[in-house]
Chains A and B, each alone.
Chain A
Amino acid sequence: MCPSSTDAAHGRFAEMVIPADSIPDTMPARDARMPVLIGTAPGEAAAAVRELVVAIFGLGAVGRAVAIALARMGVERLLLDDPSSYKPESLLTQPIAVDDVGEHKAASTARFCKQLSPGTRVFYRIGRLEDIDVAGFRGVGAMVLATDNLRAEVAAAQLAVDADVPLIHAAVHGETLTAQVRYFSNAGPDSPCGVCQYGPAEWELLNRETRFSCEAAADVRPAASTSSAPTSSFSALCGLAADLATMQVLRGALGLGAPVADTMLEYNGYTHRTVISPLVRDPDCPVEHVTWTRAAASAPLPSCTLAGLLLDAGFQSSPRSIFRVEHMQFVATAICGNGHSQPLYQFVPQAAPIGRCRSCKLELVAHPLHAHCRAPEEVLRPLLDRPLGHLCSETPRWVVVQQGERAALFSQD
Chain B
Amino acid sequence: MQSGNEANEVSRRTLAKGELRHPDGLVGLGRQRLGPRSRRLLGAACATAAGSSVWVRRKSAEARDLLALCERAPRRLTVHQLSLGDELKALCELRVPVATRDSDDGDIEIVSGAVLGLSYPRAALLEAQPGYAFITILSPLPVWHAQVSAPPIQRLCLGDTLPAGVRVKELILMAYAALSMQTFQIDVADAAGVLNPEAARWWQNNPGRIPLSRAPFLADPEHEQGAWR
Give the interface of A toward B (CB within 8 A).
151, 154, 158, 195, 203, 206-207, 210-214, 216-218, 222, 224, 283-290, 319-322, 335-339, 362-365, 367-369, 372-379, 402-405
Contacts and interface: CB of A to CB of B under 8 A. Distances in A.
A206 B48 contact: no
Given A151-B127, A207-B163, A286-B125, A376 B152 contact: no
Contact of A210 (B51, B125, B128): B128
A368 B153 contact: yes
A207 B163 CA distance: 5
B130 interface: yes
A203 B51 contact: no
B121 interface: yes
Interface stretch (B3-11, B101-109, B154-162): B154-162
Interface stretch (B17-25, B66-74, B83-91, B216-224): B83-91
A297 to B, nearest CB: 21
A315 to B, nearest CB: 12
B86 A376 contact: yes
Nearest to B131: A212
Given A290-B52, A322-B86, A379-B85, A212 B163 contact: no
A286 B54 contact: yes
A365 to B, nearest CB: 5
Contact of B48 (A288, A373, A376): A376
A339 B53 contact: no
Main DSSP-derived SS at the B contact region: loop
Contact of A212 (B49, B117, B160): B160
Interface of B: 47-55, 58, 81, 83, 85-87, 89, 91, 117, 119, 121-122, 125-133, 136, 138-139, 141, 149-153, 155, 157, 160-161, 163-165, 191-195
B90 to A, nearest CB: 8
A372 B87 contact: yes
Contacts of B132: 214, 217
A214 B160 contact: yes
B155 A217 contact: yes
A203 B117 contact: no
A337 B195 contact: no
Nearest to A336: B152
Contact of A369 (B55, B119, B139): B119
A178 B102 CA distance: 62
A378 B85 contact: yes
B52 A288 contact: yes
A385 B165 CA distance: 37
Given A207-B164, A210-B127, A213-B191, A402 B50 contact: yes
Contacts of A338: 141, 151
Contact of A405 (B53, B91, B131): B53
Contacts of A207: 128, 161, 163-164
Given A203-B164, A214-B194, A322-B85, A222 B130 contact: yes
A206 B128 contact: yes
A402 B51 CA distance: 7
30 contacts: A151-B127, A154-B127, A158-B126, A213-B191, A214-B191, A214-B192, A218-B149, A224-B130, A283-B54, A287-B126, A288-B122, A289-B54, A320-B50, A338-B141, A339-B141, A363-B152, A364-B152, A365-B153, A368-B136, A369-B89, A369-B138, A373-B86, A374-B86, A378-B48, A378-B85, A379-B85, A402-B50, A403-B50, A404-B52, A404-B53
Contact of A365 (B54, B139, B152, B165): B152
Contact of A214 (B81, B91, B121, B157): B157
A289 B52 CA distance: 8
Contacts of A210: 127-128, 161
Nearest to B84: A376
B164 A206 contact: yes
B1 to A, nearest CB: 14
A42 B152 CA distance: 68
Given A158-B126, A335-B152, A212 B161 contact: yes
Nearest 8 CB-CB pairs, A to B? A376-B85, A212-B130, A286-B125, A210-B128, A319-B48, A337-B151, A207-B163, A374-B86
Contact of B195 (A214, A286, A335, A403): A214
A160 to B, nearest CB: 14
A206 B54 contact: no
Contacts of B163: 203, 207
Nearest to B48: A319
Contact of B54 (A214, A284, A339, A368): A284
A374 B51 CA distance: 9
A282 B185 CA distance: 39
Contacts of A218: 149, 153
A321 B125 CA distance: 21
A41 to B, nearest CB: 43
B229 to A, nearest CB: 26
A288 B164 contact: no
Contact of A319 (B47, B121, B155): B47
A364 B163 CA distance: 31
A188 to B, nearest CB: 14
Most chain A CB inside 10 Å of its own CB: which residue of B53, B91, B121? B53
Central interface residue in A151, A154, A217, A402, by most chain B CB within 10 Å? A217
A216 B157 CA distance: 12
B130 A216 contact: yes
B51 A322 contact: yes
A195 B91 CA distance: 32
Contacts of B133: 222
Contacts of B155: 217
Contacts of B117: 367-369
